[in-house]
Copies of this chain bind each other. A is one copy, B any other.
Amino acid sequence: MAVTIRTVAEEAGVSPATVSRVFNDTAPVDPDTREDILETADRLGYVPNATARSLSLDRTHTFGVLLPFLTGEYFPEVIRGLDQAARDHNRLLMLSSSHHSPEDLRRALGSMNGRIDGLVLMLPQLDPAAYRDHLPADVPAVLLNAETEGHDLSVLSIDNREGGRLATRHLVDQGHERIGIITGDPATQETHERLAGYRAALRNANLPTREDWVVEGDFHRASGEAGARTLLATSPPPTAVFASNDYMAMGAIRALQADGHAVPGDVAVVGFDDLPNAEHFSPALTTIDARMVDLGTEAIALLMERTEGEACSRRVRRLAPSLRVRSSCGAAPCDQIRPTR
């Protein structure tokens, strides 16, 4: 067995309590004994056992993270934000993905029981009200991109409606009057909010909303391709399309190009998310910054607040999205520069 606090204590001729005190700086210890203990601990290669600490402190300094997928560029960016903030706060992350049913979720939560101080959940397919009771009562949780009604959990998301509005409005500002949309997966919250933003922008501009210019996608590339072709088959066809995420925007652009339409020359396209690759696409994608990294860092910040401070109340926070103008929309590309890669 490895070297424990008792080993160090015996070797240094003190009690475990004293060793604990110097390692946690929790009570005054004579400078000489402290020095002595530190020295023998170092010599023996003692490292406090985090599990034992957790058990006795009832704090694990770990946050659990449950995501639906690990594929694509979106989730990794969120994880990056989580990791960054966790490290800044000296917290660890326990990661698990693929939770598509309440049963999956329950199992994952079971195996995390007792080893996390907080939980960040992103479960776009599931209704919070449905799984709310599965969540451990004594562990604060924050939901990412979830419905805010029907439950009492903290929610963090971006303002999707505003994002949809910004994207569409930008197209309007470019002089387009026939603007189509490819929506996301109708099972998710974002889809409806972004669509609502689109409708609002058209309304504000006194432009008609034609229902055959609203085509359903599912956030995947292929549905962007199909969506673009469906839109171009209407008559008259739109001169601009708002794709509800970047993947669909990229699919749409490739399909348009393949069919001989120039982007943005014949059709302007704007996406949503601002994936890392958006600026490297050709044409560089005009899109809405969905603040994926911030979503991660803010989630941790919320949890820190809940676990450290006394603030135990529910929080609902929406981050403001913003427009990234590049080439795919035909506007003068005044890119915000980002580090390569």
Binding site for B on A (CB under 8 A): 2, 47-55, 60-62, 70-73, 75-76, 79-80, 83, 86-87, 90, 92-98, 109-115, 136-138, 220-222, 247, 250-251, 254, 276-277, 280, 282, 340-341
Contact at A222–B340, with CB atoms within 8 Å? yes
Instruction: Identify which of B70, B73, B341 contacts A83 (C-beta below 8 A).
Output: B70
Contact at A50–B113, with CB atoms within 8 Å? yes
The complex is assembled from copies of this chain, and their number is: 2
A49 contacts across to B, CB distance below 8 A: 55, 113-114
A61 contacts across to B, CB distance below 8 A: 111
A75 contacts across to B, CB distance below 8 A: 76
Q: A94-B93, A280-B221, A341-B220 are in contact. Are A113 and B76 (CB under 8 A)?
A: no
Contact at B93–A95, with CB atoms within 8 Å? yes
A341 contacts across to B, CB distance below 8 A: 71-72, 220-222, 247
Contact at A114–B50, with CB atoms within 8 Å? yes
Q: Which of A87, A114, A222, A277 has the largest number of chain B CB atoms within 10 A?
A: A114
Instruction: Identify which of B73, B92, B96 contacts A111 (C-beta below 8 A).
Output: B92
- A114: nearest chain-B partner, CB-CB: B49
Within the complex, the shortest CB–CB distance from A2 to chain B, in Å, comes to: 6
Q: Considering the chains assembled together, what is the distance between the CA atoms of A250 and B114 in angstroms?
A: 46
Q: Considering the chains assembled together, what is the distance between the CA atoms of A340 and B87 in angstroms?
A: 33
Contact at A340–B51, with CB atoms within 8 Å? no
Q: A47-B110, A47-B136, A96-B93 are in contact. Are A70 and B62 (CB under 8 A)?
A: no
Q: Which of A254, A277, A341 has the largest number of chain B CB atoms within 10 A?
A: A341
Within the complex, the shortest CB–CB distance from A38 to chain B, in Å, comes to: 14
